[in-house]
Amino acid sequence: MPTSFSAASPLPNSRTEPDGSAVIRVLSYNIRSMRDDTDALARVITACAPDLVLIQEAPRFFRWRKKLARLAAASGQVVLSGGATAAGPALLCSLRATVEHTEDVLLPLTPGEHRRGFATAVVRFGGARLGVLSCHLSLREDERYEQGGMLLDRLAGLGTPYAVAGGDLNERPDGRTFKRLATALKDCWSLAPWGGEHTWAPGNPYQRIDAILATEGIEVLGCGVPHGLPGVTEEDLRAATDHLPVLAALRVPAT
């Protein structure tokens, strides 16, 4: 069974602090193109009460916009960016977010490989201004490492003092790309473990290949797979998709 810290340390709820800083919940989730139990998927997202949902493998083909919008509506979110226009990554947000800017980015295509991209946005919560990026990195080690560098460049290019990135890295923490990202950014699980660690696969989770990463200055209050969170059942986690979600609570300073 996955290690659980949730009973001893409840994950903080979203709020705006008197100084203008914001506590937000960020969820990263590979939803496998919504090919599984979409009702279970919506229930998991709803129970996590996120302010931002960083999606990987959003629908990309027939009526993909309607499918993504339906998931957003069923889980109390709105579509922010991404989907087919970012080759799979997407962003959802709650109505708490004020959106400044969005951009979908397609990465260079390696012949014979799956097209990759980033869904990005700049949002505000209270007085906190935040860059956001959802990614799904390559299965190929060399290409994945290059994409890790592009991710860091893209975050820097958002022009915000603070930023968060999340996604399916297709690599464990001891991998070269994961280490590159965790050196430049904060690996939220390693700083404040909460819930479960392993994200793949739901029936027998044995490795962590999904992560939420944050820039310096953001305080990580807790991060992990939401086992034991009220409203999140193990049955829904197994039925929703072939990955487990990562949920983080972050305190973002006012800017």
Residue 5 lies in a domain: no
Q: What's the CATH code of the domain at 40?
A: 3.60.10.10
Q: How many Cβ atoms from other residues are within 10 Å of residue 196's Cβ?
A: 23
Q: Mean pLDDT over residues 79-97, rounded?
A: 98
Q: For position 5, what pLDDT does the model report?
A: 44
Residue 13 lies in a domain: no
| Cα 55 from Cα 88, distance rounded (Å) | 8
Q: Is 19 exposed, middle or buried (0-12, 13-18, 19+ CB in 10 A)?
A: exposed
Cα-Cα end-to-end distance for the chain:
41
Domain count, the chain: 1
Residue 15 lies in a domain: no
Q: Could you list the residue range(s) of the whole structural domain that residue 75 is in? A: 22-252
Q: For position 196, what pLDDT does the model report?
A: 97
E strands, the chain, where? 15-16, 22-30, 52-56, 78-82, 90-93, 98-106, 117-125, 128-136, 163-168, 186-187, 210-214, 219-224, 246-252
Q: For position 202, what pLDDT does the model report?
A: 85
* Residue 25 neighbours by CB under 8 Å, 6+ apart: 11, 13, 14, 48, 49, 50, 51, 52, 247, 248, 249, 250
Query: How many CA atoms are closer than 13 Å to the CA of 156, on its beta-carbon side?
Result: 9
Q: Mean pLDDT over residues 214-222, rounded?
A: 98
Q: For position 226, what pLDDT does the model report?
A: 98
Q: For position 7, what pLDDT does the model report?
A: 40
Residue 47 lies in a domain: yes
What predicted TM-score, i.e. pTM, was given to this entire model?
0.96
Residue 8 lies in a domain: no
| Cα 90 from Cα 104, distance rounded (Å) | 9
Q: Mean pLDDT over residues 30-57, rounded?
A: 98
Residue 3 lies in a domain: no
pLDDT tens column, 221-238: 999 999 999 999 999 999
pLDDT tens column, 13-37: 999 999 999 999 999 999 999 999 9
Q: For position 84, what pLDDT does the model report?
A: 97
